[in-house]
């Protein structure tokens, strides 16, 4: 069965986000002064074949822990749907 995973990876709230600070400064340079607390992360989509949703969920969990997210600095969340 085919599944689609939508994965969001964000830096931990307690950590400085240099990319977010740079984006926030750029927005202020454009006159968008009401924007605060910008955080920049990654959004990854992938498709996979698995026997069932639980197996697909486990495979995405493994991918996030082993490669896609740096667990020291980032947190992740994902949604699985059948294709």
Q: Tens digit of pLDDT for each residue in 26-70?
A: 999 999 999 999 999 999 999 999 999 999 999 999 999 999 999
Widest distance between CA atoms in the chain: 51
Q: Which pLDDT belongs to residue 37?
A: 95
pLDDT band at 18 (very low <50, low <70, confident <90, very high): very high
Q: Which pLDDT belongs to residue 4?
A: 98
Measure the CA–CA gap between 74 and 71, rounded to whole angstroms.
5
Where b means 16+ CB within 10 Å and e means fewer, 62-79 reads ebbeeebbeeeebebebe
DSSP notation for 44-78 = EEEEEE-SSHHHHHHHHHHHIIIII--TTTEEEEE
Compute CA 37 distance to the chain's CA centroid, rounded to the nearest angstrom.
17
Q: Which domains does the chain have, with CATH numbers?
A: 2-82 (3.30.1280.10)
Q: Which pLDDT belongs to residue 27?
A: 98
């Amino acid at each position: 069965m085919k599944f689609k995973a939508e994965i969001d990876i964000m830096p931990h709230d307690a950590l400085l986000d240099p990319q977010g600070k740079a984006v926030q400064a750029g927005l202020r340079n454009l006159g968008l002064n009401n924007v605060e607390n910008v955080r920049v992360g990654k959004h990854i989509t992938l498709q996979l074949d698995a026997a069932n949703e639980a197996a697909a969920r486990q495979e995405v969990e493994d991918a996030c822990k082993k490669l896609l997210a740096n667990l020291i600095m980032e947190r992740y969340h994902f949604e699985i749907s059948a294709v």
